[in-house]
A and B are shown apart, each in its own frame.
Chain A
Amino acid sequence: MRPEYRYALMNTQTPHPPVLSMRNISITLGGRKILNSVSLDVERGELKVLIGPSGGGKSTFLQCMNLLVTPDAGSVSIEGASVNPHDKKALCRLRQDVGMIFQDFNLFDHLTAVKNVAIALRRVKGMSREAAEERAMHELGRVGLTDKADLYPAHLSGGQKQRVAIARALAMDPKVILLDEPTSALDPELVGEVLAVIRDLAKSGMTMIMATHQMDFATALASEILFMEQGNIIERGTPGSLLAPDSATRTRDFCTRLADM
């Protein structure tokens, strides 16, 4: 979509459209309905937490948000402008605005930490090598990894890899960051360092949507918790309302069982 068109759309709508808005997303994969017309709006500065049993569709939903997976039906809008999933240029622009953190890091194995962060700045944003690497060093500093800049992913711990991945996403100046179980592949003692970085991001007002099973973290920071099961958001609300000791919600039930394990 051309920029002027984007502005035209923004002006006709509310003064502050949601940063990211998913409307009636449905998708069928391998003959099974994975997402069943789910919708979600994220306002600036919010942290939405997706929880739910394995196979509930959290990852698929997150990947529909930056159109890594093309939904069969429904629309994705960023700041009020809906994105055509078949327009390659618009896709690339959407994905620059929507950062993504994966469960298994997905650092580029052939590049050092600093080059991992710099590569998209150079190739996508067209920055010079010096400018890109300077920016990359700044982002690595933000996640506390200045001294690991020249190490290859194979020489980083899981927690360090995930922090590099966060720096890589931040370097693109995203409007929203999607995190798909960012600590699930980590040894327990490394979870803390990654959550600390995400907590700082949330406190600094970064808009985020995160799938996680870290309920203490979610309870403390989430603006809203969404419980997903079998491709539906079956419960949603503030942590306080969903997890109150006297509430008989599926979410609370699920969290109790999580805690028992």
Chain B
Amino acid sequence: MLRSEKRTHRLLRLYIPPDSGWRGTLSALSGFLACITVFCCEKGMPEFFTTLNSLIPQFFDKLLVIWEALPYILGGALVTAATIVGALGLGLILGIPMAVGQIYGPVPVRLFVRLYVWFFRGTPLLVLLFLFYFGLFQFIGLDVSAFVASCLVLGLTSAAYQSQIFRASISALPMGQMKAARALGMSDAQALRNVILPQALRLSIPGWSNEFSILLKDSALAYALGTPEIMARVNFVATRTYTHLPLYIVAAILYFIITLIGLYFLRALERRARIPGYNM
């Protein structure tokens, strides 16, 4: 990598506001000015201009790299989206019965759920990914692709977190709801299905949105297993074209966009599911 290029990186990093709002912009601006001043004092004006000169043509080079790599990277975005849809779905399917089991189940079930949640919340995701993909799955002879493996591990982890979201929502419902349902002759399963879960799931949407956005960002760790998702593909292109910074910015923007789209739909779901006059 060229010396001037390295310097550009340092300069560009200072462009990025530390936080949003005018304060951030102001401090970035002053940082930038300070940087130029230091640069000029150290190297003198001429070298500043040569750096600037070399920067502008490279800018277009890099745009071209991004442009050409974009379909490949967008394919990665699809893989990321598929990963979190799978993981969130698995987490939902496992999380609901776990929450119900932890509240209404017999002692062994409660104990199991607590252990499960304790294990998955207490272990770093990266460790879990390696543990399952290179360890457990091979041990039990489960031959799955890196994509499926990361879906499974993210899903199992999300189930632990989601079960606690649902458990909190179920506990937040007044005791009387279950009593009234039972008093009408409903079995516990009917009461859960018709009275408890419809209300608890509504209450869970905000927490679930949070889980979605966290899981989306955690899914970048699937890169470590070789899943061809955003990070893996961006990294692949970056190391071959020496275009690290712009490509990582593209990656960040992609995650940002997926988050926005997901949260938009979840917000819409929340509005649709709202019970009139009922503050959630």
A contact set with B: CB distance below 8 Å: 63, 66, 68, 88, 92-93, 95-96, 98-100, 102, 104-110, 119-120, 123-124, 152-155, 165, 168-169, 172
Complexed CA–CA distance, A123 and B278 (Å)? 24
Q: A155-B276, A155-B277 are in contact. Are A124 and B179 (CB under 8 A)?
A: no
B2 at the interface (CB under 8 A from A): no
B105 at the interface (CB under 8 A from A): no
A68-B182, A108-B181, A154-B278 are known; give 9 further A-B pairs, CB within 8 A: A92-B185, A99-B183, A109-B199, A124-B186, A152-B277, A154-B277, A168-B184, A172-B184, A172-B185
Complexed CA–CA distance, A35 and B114 (Å)? 35
Within 8 A of A (CB), among B198-217: 198-199, 202
User: Which residues of chain B are near A119, meaning CB under 8 Å?
Assistant: 184, 194-195
Complexed CA–CA distance, A104 and B177 (Å)? 10
Complexed CA–CA distance, A157 and B99 (Å)? 33
Check A95–B275 contact: CB distance below 8 A.
no
User: Which residues of chain B are near A96, meaning CB under 8 Å?
Assistant: 184-185
Q: How far is the CB of B106 from chain A (nearest CB, A)?
A: 14
21 A-B pairs, CB-CB below 8 angstroms?
A93-B185, A95-B184, A98-B183, A100-B180, A100-B183, A104-B174, A106-B179, A108-B177, A108-B181, A108-B195, A109-B177, A109-B275, A110-B202, A119-B194, A120-B185, A120-B186, A124-B186, A152-B277, A152-B278, A169-B184, A172-B185
Q: How far is the CB of A83 from chain B (nearest CB, A)?
A: 13
B176 at the interface (CB under 8 A from A): yes
Complexed CA–CA distance, A109 and B195 (Å)? 9
Tell me the interface secondary structure of chain B in the complex: helix
Complexed CA–CA distance, A107 and B183 (Å)? 12
User: Which residues of chain B are near A92, meaning CB under 8 Å?
Assistant: 185-187
Closest to B278 in A: A154
Q: How far is the CB of B168 from chain A (nearest CB, A)?
A: 17
Complexed CA–CA distance, A100 and B203 (Å)? 27
User: Which residues of chain B are near A100, meaning CB under 8 Å?
Assistant: 180, 183
Give which listed residue, B176, B186, B202, contacts A123 with CB less than 8 A: B186
Binary contact readout B163-195 vs A (1 if CB under 8 angstroms, 0 otherwise):
000000000001011011111111100100011
Closest to A102 in B: B176
Give which listed residue, B183, B202, B275, contacts A68 with CB less than 8 A: B183
Binary contact readout B238-280 vs A (1 if CB under 8 angstroms, 0 otherwise):
0000000000000000000000000000000000000111100
Complexed CA–CA distance, A20 and B13 (Å)? 79
Complexed CA–CA distance, A165 and B177 (Å)? 12
Q: A106-B174, A123-B194 are in contact. Are A95 and B182 (CB under 8 A)?
A: yes
Complexed CA–CA distance, A105 and B198 (Å)? 19
Q: A92-B186, A124-B186, A172-B185 are in contact. Are A102 and B180 (CB under 8 A)?
A: yes
Within 8 A of A (CB), among B40-95: none
| A109, A119, A169: residue with the most chain B Cβ atoms closer than 10 Å | A109
Check B194–A154 contact: CB distance below 8 A.
no
Check B184–A124 contact: CB distance below 8 A.
yes
User: Which residues of chain A are near B190, meaning CB under 8 Å?
Assistant: 123-124
Check B179–A120 contact: CB distance below 8 A.
no
User: Which residues of chain A are near B277, meaning CB under 8 Å?
Assistant: 152-155
Complexed CA–CA distance, A99 and B184 (Å)? 7
Check A152–B276 contact: CB distance below 8 A.
yes
Q: A68-B179, A106-B177 are in contact. Are A154 and B275 (CB under 8 A)?
A: yes
Q: How far is the CB of B273 from chain A (nearest CB, A)?
A: 9
Complexed CA–CA distance, A107 and B198 (Å)? 14
Complexed CA–CA distance, A169 and B183 (Å)? 9
Check A110–B198 contact: CB distance below 8 A.
yes
Check A66–B183 contact: CB distance below 8 A.
yes
Q: How far is the CB of A140 from chain B (nearest CB, A)?
A: 16
Within 8 A of A (CB), among B1-15: none
Complexed CA–CA distance, A152 and B100 (Å)? 26
Complexed CA–CA distance, A154 and B279 (Å)? 9
Complexed CA–CA distance, A68 and B181 (Å)? 10
Complexed CA–CA distance, A172 and B181 (Å)? 12
Closest to A88 in B: B187
Complexed CA–CA distance, A165 and B179 (Å)? 13
Complexed CA–CA distance, A89 and B190 (Å)? 13
Check B276–A154 contact: CB distance below 8 A.
yes
Check A95–B183 contact: CB distance below 8 A.
yes
User: Which residues of chain B are near A123, meaning CB under 8 Å?
Assistant: 186, 190, 194
User: Which residues of chain B are near A153, meaning CB under 8 Å?
Assistant: 277-278
User: Which residues of chain B are near A102, meaning CB under 8 Å?
Assistant: 176, 179-180, 183
User: Which residues of chain B are near A93, meaning CB under 8 Å?
Assistant: 185
Closest to B279 in A: A154
Q: How far is the CB of B63 from chain A (nearest CB, A)?
A: 52
Q: How far is the CB of A124 from chain B (nearest CB, A)?
A: 5
Q: How far is the CB of B248 from chain A (nearest CB, A)?
A: 45
User: Which residues of chain B are near A63, meaning CB under 8 Å?
Assistant: 179
